[in-house]
Every structure is written in C-alpha cells, then in structure tokens.
Amino acid sequence: MTSIAELPLSIQISKKLEDDIIYGFFLPGTKLDEQELCDRYGASRTPIREALKLLAAEGLVEIRPRRGAIIPTINPLTLCEMFEVMAELEAMCGRLAARRIQPEEKQELQRLHLLCQDYLKQNDSENYYEANRLFHFAIYQASHNAFLIEQASTLHKRLHPYRRLQLRVNNRMNNSFSEHNAILDAIFAGDEQQAEDLLKAHVVIQGQKFTDFISTIESIQPKS
C-alpha cells in the first residue's frame, strides 16, 4: 500500500487540508489565504493551488474567480435536503448490513462502538467524532454494495464539517451513542426494517434538532 509520503505533494496537501476542514480548523465561510496555506503546509503556491482544485472537485472547497478559495457554506434548505438524502443512503446501508454483515465485520463494528463509549466517558468530542465516522463507514462496508458504499461515502465526506458540528449541539454526543447502541442491536439481530428506520432517524435533521443545529452553525461561522 502506498504511504501518504509517497504520494504527489499536491495530494499530500489536499489530505492535510481536508483533515483541517473536517476537524474544524477551517470553518465554513473561511477564506483560504494561499500564503498562509504555504506557511502551514510548507509548500509553494503551485502544489497548494493543485490541492485546492482537488478539494474543489469534491465540494469541500469553492474557488471563486478573482476572489480565491473559501470553505463553502450551505444554505439551510440545501443542507436539510442533503441530510435527507444522506439519511436515506445510510438507512439502505443499515438494511443491507443487517442482512449481509459478516462475523469479522460485527467485531469491527463492536470495537468502534466501544471506542465511541470510551471517548464519550472522557467527554472528548474530537476523538468521538473520528470513531463515530469510522462506525458509520463500517456500516457502509457491511452493506456489501459497492455502488451504495461509494455514494454514501462521497456524500458523507461532503457533509463532514456539518456532521462534526452536530456534536456541539446540546447533549448530542450522548444521544448519538444511545442511537448507535440501538442501531448495533438491530443490525446484529438481523432486523432489516429496524436497522433502516433507526439509521434514518439517526442521520436526518428536522424539527427542533434542525433548529438547534442551524443555531450552532451560525454561532461559529466567521463574521464578514
């Protein structure tokens, strides 16, 4: 397997910048200064610009003519629609996982669930998010549908900054873990309908849950 150090510099930088976006160093609405990026990643402008183009193709960065690159913001209606689609994709993954999950995949899902529990006890939202992210990807893999895995993973990546911010909503981390527990039980029991319903409810944001989420986003976005 190729290590990150063996990849072209532009790809190495794109991965580091992607991590910085995912983990909130660069928040939605942030304008990216090329010189600051050069200093941060120890590179010249050419690989920085190439990295920005790679991330723009994935929707994580928006490049505007004569205005440079920014971390895009999404209007509330579009964000709600994206989470609706994400909820449907994850629900399908859960249904298929309940039918197709293999013993070793059950072990991995259980390991990630316990890891989430450890970080919850430590009130460590950063590491909880990472374990949570891997938990969801493990469910995608357990669906054993390559096209579905690709689509769910792509949209999950596009929503990374916002899914991470969800954990800042009051008591969301505790609720997330409780929901994971029920999802795990349904998948392990082979209950396809229950797994589907629980994952859909887990991911979609509506009602008070949506209002709290939007308030959280507005509170952290850079002021123009």
The Cα–Cα gap between 127 and 203 comes to: 19
Q: Are the beta carbons of 149 and 105 closer than 8 angstroms?
A: no
pLDDT at 1: 40
pLDDT at 51: 94
Domains of the chain: 4-70 (1.10.10.10), 76-220 (1.20.120.530)
Q: Are the beta carbons of 157 and 208 closer than 8 angstroms?
A: no
pLDDT at 113: 97
Mean pLDDT per 10-residue section of the chain, whose length is 224 residues: 68 87 80 94 94 88 87 81 93 98 98 96 87 95 98 88 70 89 98 97 71 61 50
The closest of 113, 78, 116 to 210, measured between CA atoms, is 78
The closest of 209, 153, 141, 164 to 26, measured between CA atoms, is 164
Please state, as a whole number, how many other Cβ atoms lie within 10 Å of the Cβ of residue 209: 15
The closest of 91, 169, 94 to 129, measured between CA atoms, is 169
pLDDT at 29: 85
